Amino acid sequence: MCGRYALSFVKGFATRFQLMDRAAERELEPRFNIAPTQDAPIIVAGSGNKMVVMRWGFIPFWAKDKRIGGRLINARAEGIAKRPAYRASVKKRRCIVPATGFYEWLATDRGKVPYYLHLKNEEIFGMAGLYDRWRSPDDSEIHSFTIITTEPNDLARPIHNRMPVILHREDEQRWLAPEPLESKDLEGLLKPYPADEMEAYRVSRDVNSPMVDEPELIEPVTDRRQKGS
Tell me if residue 104 is catalytic: yes
- Report the number of secondary-structure helices (H) and strands (E) in the chain: 5, 13
Q: What is the pLDDT of residue 227?
A: 47
Residue 19 lies in a domain: yes
The CATH number that applies at residue 19 is 3.90.1680.10
3-state secondary structure of 214: coil
Residue 214 lies in a domain: no
For the chain, give the longest Cα–Cα distance.
52
Residues 6+ apart with CB under 8 A from 136: 66, 142
Residue 132 lies in a domain: yes
Q: Range with the lowest mean pLDDT among 17-21, 72-76, 84-88, 225-229?
A: 225-229
Give residue 98's domain range: 4-106+122-197
Q: Which of 78, 104, 141, 216 is catalytic?
A: 104
Tell me the per-residue pLDDT of 194-221, one tens digit each, with 9 for 90 and over: 999 999 999 999 999 999 999 999 999 9
Rounded average pLDDT over 114-136:
97
Confidence band for 139, pLDDT divided at 50, 70 and 90: confident
Higher pLDDT: 19 or 139? It is 19
Confidence band for 137, pLDDT divided at 50, 70 and 90: confident
Rounded-to-integer distance, Cα 183 and Cα 180, Å: 10
Q: Which of 2, 25, 95, 172 is catalytic?
A: 2
Residue 148 lies in a domain: yes
Residue 220 lies in a domain: no
Residue 82 lies in a domain: yes
Rounded average pLDDT over 126-145:
94
Tell me the per-residue pLDDT of 163-191, one tens digit each, with 9 for 90 and over: 999 999 999 999 999 899 999 999 999 99
Whole-number percent of the chain with pLDDT over 90: 90
Tell me the per-residue pLDDT of 21-76, one tens digit each, with 9 for 90 and over: 988 889 999 999 999 999 999 999 987 899 999 999 999 999 999 999 999 999 99
Residue 202 lies in a domain: no
Q: What is the pLDDT of residue 138?
A: 83
Residue 207 lies in a domain: no
- pLDDT of 229 > 50? The answer is no
Q: How many domains does the chain have?
A: 1
Tell me if residue 95 is catalytic: no
Rounded-to-integer distance, Cα 32 and Cα 54, Å: 17
- pLDDT of 228 > 50? The answer is no
Residues 6+ apart with CB under 8 A from 145: 40, 42, 54, 55, 56, 58, 95, 97, 129, 130, 131, 132
